[in-house]
């Protein structure tokens, strides 16, 4: 008896039919005869949703009982959130006990869809950890065309409705219909495919900012968003010069933790090479009593807890607990170098990290001026303050 069957369905993402491989049902028995037909839904990248495939327990070949295609409309949005009260961005198995940003967005979209049988799934450009914030997280989701034609799903109306239903710590900054499918490079397989606009695959870079107080006391008004380091940092200048060693394409396996998900762990083991385009240390006054130091990381992508481990290495060197040469050696060895610094490099607290912006080729979410070469207001995310900030407590003072 064969163990697999093939169903050929039509998809519009690529020319030609697409084959779905389905396992056949187990041999017929008393329990199988009383069992209800099994239904499975399939998703195809190409803005096409294939109806459920019903497998009769008494048949050796699956049959399509509802071979209809539902056209979808893809939306993209910019989301800002305070991650203090959430267990990261990605949906957890128990969404009630462990609320996440993705589960909250999907819950609100399902409420807007009402009795529609379509299950809306939100895809984010970056999966932030528990406690990490975002000002420029980009997501996309698909809505059936029959629902998208209604006034309730016009971008402005949908954005307003979602902001009313979402918690006050999650808000939609911008929402619009995504552009048409384009040729896209799938990095993990190094192939080009024509895909609809995708928040992950079409991203060209990200900007993370880590904020830190460096003084003898902490500002209570910024407690949820800024990390406070009250200990002395006598080797601050050595640690600051170390940051520039991370710029470029390196194997950052020594600064990555193993993700909790098994599939993510396998992906990390296959590729731990990332590119950091620039690192800028900016002293700024955030309006509080204590000055805030901002670490700007502009990169193509980050590994699990990579940014927080880099900040942890910076602090370990600034305190004098770790030599810069040992950090450079760990960077050269990649995954094997993790053992050299694991005992003294701990990930920096999550509340100081924020995903500020995700960059795309079309300028989304901030459009650039077409008439001039200067970017529009708000696009210069790294601008040194004229006011500056004093050196941290115990730091070596040098003429800069």
- What is the H or E stretch that residue 204 is in? strand 203-214
What is the spatial distance between Cα 265 and Cα 253, in angstroms, rounded to a whole number?
12
Cβ atoms 89, 79 nearer than 8 A: no
Cβ atoms 75, 177 nearer than 8 A: yes
State yes or no: is 129 an active-site residue: yes
Residue 42 DSSP class: E
327: tokens are 């950090």
Long-range CB pairs of 17-22, under 8 A, 24+ apart, other chains included: 18/44, 20/50, 20/53, 22/53, 22/55, 22/62
- Single out the catalytic residue among 82, 129, 142, 251: 129
378: tokens are 């708000």
Cβ atoms 365, 173 nearer than 8 A: yes
389: tokens are 């900030």
Would you tell me how many other CB atoms lie within 10 Å of the CB of residue 89? 26
What is the spatial distance between Cα 229 and Cα 250, in angstroms, rounded to a whole number?
28
Strand 123-124 to 69-81 pairing: unpaired
- What is the H or E stretch that residue 31 is in? helix 30-34
Per DSSP, the chain holds a count of helices (H) and strands (E) of 9, 16
Residue tagged 């008494």 (tokens): 58
Cβ atoms 8, 18 nearer than 8 A: yes
39: phi then psi, degrees, rounded to nearest 5: -120, 140
Angle, CA of 301, 248 and 351, to the nearest 5°: 45
Positions marked active-site: 129
């Amino acid at each position: 008896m064969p163990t697999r069957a093939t169903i050929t369905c039509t998809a519009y993402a690529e020319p030609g039919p697409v084959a779905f491989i389905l396992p056949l049902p187990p041999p017929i028995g008393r329990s199988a005869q009383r069992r209800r037909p099994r239904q499975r839904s399939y998703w195809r990248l190409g803005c096409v949703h294939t109806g459920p495939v019903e497998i009769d327990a008494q048949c050796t070949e699956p049959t399509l009982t509802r071979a209809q295609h539902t056209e979808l409309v893809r939306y993209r949005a910019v989301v800002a959130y305070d991650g203090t009260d959430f267990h990261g961005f990605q949906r957890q198995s128990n969404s009630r006990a462990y609320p996440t940003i993705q589960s909250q967005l999907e819950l609100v979209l399902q409420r807007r869809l009402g009795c529609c049988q379509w299950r809306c799934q939100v895809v984010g450009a970056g999966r932030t950890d528990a406690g990490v914030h975002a000002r420029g997280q980009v997501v996309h989701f698909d809505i059936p065309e029959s629902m998208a034609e209604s006034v309730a799903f016009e971008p402005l109306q949908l954005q307003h409705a979602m902001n009313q239903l979402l918690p006050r710590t999650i808000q939609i900054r911008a929402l619009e219909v995504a552009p048409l499918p384009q040729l896209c490079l799938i990095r993990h397989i190094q192939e080009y495919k024509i895909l609809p606009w995708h928040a992950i695959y079409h991203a060209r870079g990200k900007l993370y900012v880590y904020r830190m107080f460096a003084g003898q006391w902490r500002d209570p008004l910024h407690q949820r968003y800024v990390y406070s380091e009250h200990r002395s940092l006598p080797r601050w200048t050595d640690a600051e010069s170390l940051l520039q060693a991370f710029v470029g394409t390196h194997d950052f396996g020594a600064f990555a933790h193993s993700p909790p998900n098994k599939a993510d762990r396998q992906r990390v083991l296959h590729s731990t090479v990332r590119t950091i385009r620039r690192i800028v240390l900016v002293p700024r006054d955030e309006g509080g009593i204590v000055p805030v130091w901002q670490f700007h990381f502009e990169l193509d992508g980050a590994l699990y807890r990579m940014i927080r481990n880099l900040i942890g290495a910076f602090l370990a060197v600034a305190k004098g607990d770790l030599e810069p040469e040992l950090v450079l050696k760990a960077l050269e060895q990649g995954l094997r170098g993790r053992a050299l610094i694991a005992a003294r490099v701990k990930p920096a607290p999550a509340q100081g990290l924020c995903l500020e912006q995700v960059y795309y080729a079309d300028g989304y979410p901030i459009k650039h001026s077409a008439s001039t070469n200067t970017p529009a207001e708000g696009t210069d995310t790294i601008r040194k303050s004229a006011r500056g900030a004093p050196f941290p407590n115990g730091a070596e003072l040098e003429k800069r």
